Chains A and B, each alone.
Chain A
Amino acid sequence: EVQLVQSGAEVRKPGESLKISCKGSGYIFVTGSIAWVRQMPGKGLEWMGVISAADSDTNYSPSFEGHVTISADKSINTAYLQWSSLNASDTAIYYCARRGSGSISTFDYWGQGTLVTVSS
């Protein structure tokens, strides 16, 4: 069974750094890509970027490039999303989603989401 398991909820202060994770299981990790999707409170889904699990090639939405970093460690089947300096506006649920062998917008399995709260 394909599963994406994300790290737990986090609370940080503005200006602090953070790295959250997404661990894949039940499939060959390097055969897919992992995308990150933001959902701000009461709002819709926003595609942030994607990383190829095989070679760590990344593509970012222009809206997020420069503010977050997406990485992966294929030796432990895990993708990451990190911030070096958080803003209050980063408060949101962050989902990882797998793009398997399908087309670029086919996100067939999703993690349970990680709630990030940024507050002073």
Chain B
Amino acid sequence: QSALTQPRSVSASPGQSVTMSCTGTSSDIGTYNYVSWFQQYPGKAPQLVIYDVTKRPSGVPDRFSGSKSGNTASLTISGLQAADEADYYCCSYAGRYIVIFGGGTKLNVL
């Protein structure tokens, strides 16, 4: 299983919306609705922001939303805030009890 593909960085201004992609294959994202997204600040542990493609854990603002189309999952953050600047990682179930992560996307809030 290869890592999921994420853009290295995306940029947007405060108040705008940004969407970042996570591309897999028909063996992982394309088959299973078990995609999660994690936010990681420098020097900190990751935090879950989206699970099961579209669900938000309690405490995560509804500015964060997830979706999936075919082999690609997406995370959208609306009403961008400076505090959203972080690294974002997707992960997906890949069958046979294996989970794979994407390489991560650095979100720059300009």
| Nearest chain A CB to B67 CB, angstrom units | 16
Out of B34, B46, B103, name the residue touching A95 (CB < 8 Å): B46
A50, A61, A105: the one within 8 Å of B51 (CB): A105
What are the interface flags for B15-58 relative to A under an 8 Å C-beta threshold, 1 for contact and 0 otherwise?
00000000000000000001110101000011110011000010
* A62-B1 CB under 8 A given contacts A102-B52, A105-B93: yes
Q: A45-B46, A45-B89, A102-B51 are in contact. Are A108 and B97 (CB under 8 A)?
A: no
Using known A-B contacts A45-B38, A45-B89, A110-B47, determine if residue A105 contacts B99 with beta carbons closer than 8 Å: yes
Assuming A105-B35, A105-B93, what are 12 further A-B pairs, CB within 8 angstroms? A35-B99, A37-B101, A44-B3, A47-B99, A47-B100, A59-B98, A102-B51, A103-B34, A105-B34, A105-B92, A106-B36, A107-B48
A: residues with CB less than 8 A from B are 35, 37, 44-47, 50, 59, 61-62, 95, 97, 102-108, 110-113
B residues contacting A by CB (< 8 A) are 1, 3, 34-36, 38, 40, 45-48, 51-52, 57, 87, 89, 91-93, 96-104
